[in-house]
Amino acid sequence: MRPLWGLVVMCTLLLSVAVGAQMTDEYQNWMRSNATLVTDLNKNLTAKSGDAAVMDAKTLEENMAKVLIYWQTRDVNDGVRFSLDTKYGFAQVALLASQGKFDEASAALKMTQANCAGCHMAHREKAADGSFKIKLK
């Protein structure tokens, strides 16, 4: 019975490593997507394109919900807080843009981006090749 138990434990560990690696890849894809979306959102707010700005902000909000789960599964409390605050920030931007309050939406976006920067400072480090790696602390 012991060899079987050891095999079960080994398979469980290997599966958790594979799932963790997959989730890390997805996380990095969300971050790349967020960078593009924030650029588009800024342009749409400047152009006073309400529908496009709302769509960008809502997509960012959805991405941040995924990022929130990422940090929750790793039990990283400040990552959870940064994600939650950022998710709410993008919801505020969407609401303001939907109301045609583009200056207020731009201000809310700047505050939201400060949350992004705080998390990046705490949980991102630059590798020698110029890429970024996640640090869990």
Token code pair at residue 78: 């400040």
Residue 8 belongs to a domain:
no
| Residue 123 CB coordination number (10 Å) | 19
Asked if the structure places residue 5 within a domain, the reply is: no
**104 in a structural domain:** yes
Which tokens in the block code for residue 84? 């939650």
Residue 81 falls within a domain, yes or no? yes
Residues 67 and 78: beta-carbon distance below 8 Å: no
CATH number, domain at 87? 1.20.120
Provide the domain limits for residue 103: 27-134
Q: Encode pLDDT of 29-39 as tens digits.
A: 888 899 999 99
Give the pLDDT confidence of 40-91 residue by residue, as tens digits.
999 999 999 999 999 999 999 999 999 999 999 999 999 999 999 999 999 9
Q: How many domains does the chain have?
A: 1
